[in-house]
Amino acid sequence: MKGSHAIYLVTMKKYPNGITATQLSGLCQKDKAAVSRALAELEDRNLIRKEGASYRAQLFLTKEGETAADFV
């Protein structure tokens, strides 16, 4: 897992009711494109799930994502 992935997971752990990619980008001070690529990888690994479309989608950690965030 890349360092940026760990940062996103830990940040998302602080928002159990969901967070958008735009909010995550601002909080982590990362480029939207970089966040988008990382979120796609995390979703492929079943660490996060999206509800909605594009940057307005709410992002949530899966059980596996919560475990990974706790480990970090």
Overall average pLDDT of the 51-69 stretch = 89
* Nearest-5° Cα angle at 46, 16 to 12: 25
Nearest to 52 by CA among 60, 44, 61, 42: 60
Cβ–Cβ < 8 Å for 47, 54: no
Per-residue burial over 39-48, b = 16 or more CB atoms within 10 Å of its CB, e = otherwise: beebeeeebb
Q: Does residue 21 or residue 55 have the better pLDDT? A: 21
pLDDT value, residue 64: 95
